[in-house]
Amino acid sequence: MQRLALSLALLLTCGAVSAEQIKPAVKAAAKPAAGATKKMAAKPAPKKGPPAKMLFGAVTAPAPLAARAIGSYARGCLAGGVSLPINGPDWQVMRLSRNRNWGTPQLLDYLERLASDARARDGWPGLLIGDMAQPRGGPMITGHSSHQIGLDADVWLTPMPDRILTPPEREDITATSMLKDPFTVDPAIWTPLHTKLIKRAASYPQVSRIFVHPAIKKVLCEQAGKDRAWLGKVRPWWGHFYHFHIRLKCPPDMTGCEDQKPPSGDDGCGTELANWFSMLRKAEIASAHPAVPGAKPAPKKPPLSLGDLPKECMTVLSAGGGMPTIAPDGTVPAALKAEAGKDAGPPAPHLDPEALAALKASMSKSKQGAKATPAAKPADTAAAAAPPAQPAAVTAAQPALTVGTASPSDSVPLPDRKPQ
């Protein structure tokens, strides 16, 4: 801990930090100009310093403490993390170089059970496991804002092949996109087994939420039949078109673990899903023309520092000599290699110029005259069995939404901001 405090003091006084990190430090020093260094020396607690993702991203072994998820999904850490074996009877871990196959014992139990049940009862050939948590949890250098406390896991929608993948294959294979276009699942790729897998994953009582792309949620809504209770846990979110994200509840009696409010209980197939499709359309237009009115780029938040996490995360980070070395320039050398890993999935699909033009035209048309029955949107006509009420609901919901920054009904910690 002393070592970190020293490094941080050095770091803040020498000022060799990135623009992103400078902002908060400048703010702190702005009040008493001369007193700033004194304040820093008297208060060694690392309020700011290297982003916490650098520190947690550099640690290669778990904290030798009792297993505990500390804090919340997008602001916390993991004590006593355990690693999922890279090969199991019904699963294989991908992207081994990332060293993100860590979690609470409860997460491991869950994944092993899901892999086994999905194979034995649904015929899913086995799970390809993507990112779980780092050995001590915490923020990650790439890919996620959550996955910090050992209760989140990404599972690829690509079925496990019938052989053991080599380590290079696990680095290089790209997960399969389920999308035909930005709004539609490809019926040639999506199978009833995919639906069964997600239903199975959501069915266990310890599951809080499952995140999938809105187009996948739409297919699930269409294919669920009468048994719909599980659908409420399956939440639309950006980027989840080649994997789904499992989030467990805080295990009972785990102090310091902050649960999320449970989903409303609604199946989420009505207005909420329509709102998501509205956001998808806006995002698609914004991605082609970032200057479109109403599609403001989200302001970049400074990365979390150690001081932003629960106090115990300092103990988690430093337990057993785990504190990584911080270079004089403020970087954490051991963390940098994590940035080189290959993305797990393909880039998100986009409309071709003609389809984009048609989408824009239909959106401005529906904005103007909401009273006439809205024409079917080009992007939606491709989707089989679109719910009949959707175009009207989408039109009505548009003004309240902001592209790409907020979930429409989940005022909760965000899972993933972008595909990993």
Footprint on this chain of Zn ion (rule: CB under 5 A): 154, 245, 416
Amino acid sitting at position 211:
F
Which of residues 267 and 416 has its CB atom nearest to Zn ion in the complex? 416
Which of residues 154 and 181 has its CB atom nearest to Zn ion in the complex? 154
Which of residues 213 and 245 has its CB atom nearest to Zn ion in the complex? 245
List CB contacts of 137: < 8 A, sequence separation 6 or more: 56, 69, 70, 76, 77, 78, 81, 102, 147, 148, 149, 150, 316
Q: Where are the alpha helices (DSSP H) in 19-118?
A: 19-30, 35-42, 52-58, 105-117
CB of 245 to Zn ion, least distance (A): 3
Are 76 and 69 within 8 A, CB to CB?
A: yes
CB of 89 to Zn ion, least distance (A): 24
Which of residues 7 and 158 has its CB atom nearest to Zn ion in the complex? 158
Question: Phi and psi of 61, rounded to 5°?
Answer: -130, 155
Are 138 and 171 within 8 A, CB to CB?
A: no
CB of 414 to Zn ion, least distance (A): 11
CB of 131 to Zn ion, least distance (A): 6
CB atoms within 10 A of CB 385: 10
Exposure pattern of 285-323 as b/e (b: 16+ CB <10 Å)?
bbbeeeeeeebeeeeeeebbbbbbbbebbbebbbbeebb
Containing 153, the helix (H) or strand (E) segment is strand 152-156
Which of residues 121 and 418 has its CB atom nearest to Zn ion in the complex? 418
CB of 163 to Zn ion, least distance (A): 26
Q: How far apart are CA 298 and CA 275, in angstroms?
A: 19
Exposure pattern of 400-418 as b/e (b: 16+ CB <10 Å)?
ebebbeebbbbebbbbbbe
CB of 140 to Zn ion, least distance (A): 10
Which of residues 230 and 237 has its CB atom nearest to Zn ion in the complex? 237
- How far from chain centre, in Å, is Cα 380? 26
Q: How far apart are CA 377 and CA 365, in angstroms?
A: 10
The residues that bridge with 247 in the sheet, in sequence order, are 152, 209
CB of 415 to Zn ion, least distance (A): 6
Which of residues 92 and 398 has its CB atom nearest to Zn ion in the complex? 92
Which of residues 282 and 417 has its CB atom nearest to Zn ion in the complex? 417
Residue number, nearest CB to Zn ion: 245
Which of residues 242 and 398 has its CB atom nearest to Zn ion in the complex? 242
Q: Name the one residue in this structure whose structure tokens are 């295990």.
A: 251
Are 307 and 43 within 8 A, CB to CB?
A: no
CB of 247 to Zn ion, least distance (A): 8
First CA to last CA distance, the chain: 32
Which of residues 63 and 344 has its CB atom nearest to Zn ion in the complex? 344
CB of 201 to Zn ion, least distance (A): 13
CB of 321 to Zn ion, least distance (A): 30
